[in-house]
Amino acid sequence: MCTYLTELAEIQGSGKGAAGYLPLTTAMVCVDHPQHAPFEHTVNIDFLNPAMGPSARVAVELTEESALALIDAIRAALAAAPPGLASAPQS
């Protein structure tokens, strides 16, 4: 089904898209049909910079298990680093 479900988050960072690196401002997460992954539904994450147009986009399509494993990996990596090391206010 098309779930229409869409979650948005403001983000800061960069990603590598079809035309090289770009600054990212928005992450969009939805559980819906993928474009490419061989499943009927996946967790689709788009890293976007709407001000730079539709092609300013880094896209991934993950199974539910993969998405949850990714969340755990991100949390584990952050927990292993000194608190605040990768936070936005850096001197």
Partner 1 sequence: MYDALLAETVTITGHGGDAIEAYSARPLTAGPLGSVVVIHHMPGYDAGTKEMVRRFAAEGFNAVCPNLYTREAPGASPDDASATARALGGVPDERLVGDVAGAAAYLRGLTSSNGRVGTIGHCSGGRQAFLAAAHLELQAAVDCYGAFVTGTVPEGFPLQVQPIGHLAKDLSCPLLGIFGADDQYPSPEAVAELEELMKAAGKEYEFHSYEGAGHGFFAVDRPGYRPQAATDGWAKILDFYRRHLSA
Binding region for partner 1 (CB under 8 A): 1-8, 26, 28, 30, 32-33, 35, 38-40, 46, 48, 50, 53-55, 57, 59
Rounded Cα distance, 53 and 57, in Å: 9
Label residue 66 exposed, middle or buried (CB < 10 Å: 0-12, 13-18, 19+).
middle
Q: Which is nearer to partner 1, 27 or 78 (CB)?
A: 27
Q: Which is nearer to partner 1, 4 or 79 (CB)?
A: 4
Rounded to the nearest whole angstrom, what is the least distance from the CB of residue 7 to partner 1 in the complex?
8
Q: Which is nearer to partner 1, 3 or 14 (CB)?
A: 3
Rounded to the nearest whole angstrom, what is the least distance from the CB of residue 78 to partner 1 in the complex?
26
DSSP 90: -
Rounded to the nearest whole angstrom, what is the least distance from the CB of residue 79 to partner 1 in the complex?
29
